[in-house]
Structure 1
Amino acid sequence: GGPEMANIAVTPEQLQSIASQLNTGAGNIESTLSQLEGQVAPLQSEWQGVAQARFQELWAEWHRSSRGIQEALHGISQLTQQAGANYEETETSIASSFGR
């Protein structure tokens, strides 16, 4: 036999809600990053030596990783939002075909 069709057990509204929550999460990460940068900046200007240099390396690595997570959440949100729009369009199309 051929491949089985998957049952879609999610509504477009649920997908839109999840997309919104993902965007909110990404925004929260951005806000937290900004707050932490504000708190760390004074320390970086006063701190000297090998430990400070290692801290800078780790801070930069953490910052890149955090931005990556934020960008991934935005991307997942966009895909989820598009999936919701596609499902809604498909449902509308199917509903209108029954009206013929």
Structure 2
Amino acid sequence: AAVKDIVSGWLTTQPGRQRKHYALRATSLVTSDGPAGRVLNATGLERITRVSRVGPAGLQILRDLGGDSESSVILEADSPADRDAWARHLESALARFRSS
């Protein structure tokens, strides 16, 4: 899916299969490691996702997004730049899930 599709709807890796749903949000809170992110699952529970300054976008999702290759992910962000950066790294992370 293209970046623009991620921000307006669900990105599904295996359509038609039962999936867990997660919301990924980039907040405006800036720490020494970059913008903070949180992962919300379908039940509303949340978990902090570590973010680091890596590469030109300055953002990289590290390790576990709380999902697997069958997860659906929706992205929210506080600005178009945050949205695009999160979407790029989210796509990379999902590609790693698919190939693992």
TM > 0.5 between the two? no
Larger-Rg structure: 1
Q: With CA pairs under 8 Å and 6+ residues apart, which has the higher RCO, 1 or 2?
A: 1
TM-score interval (norm. to shorter) = under 0.3
More strand by share: 2
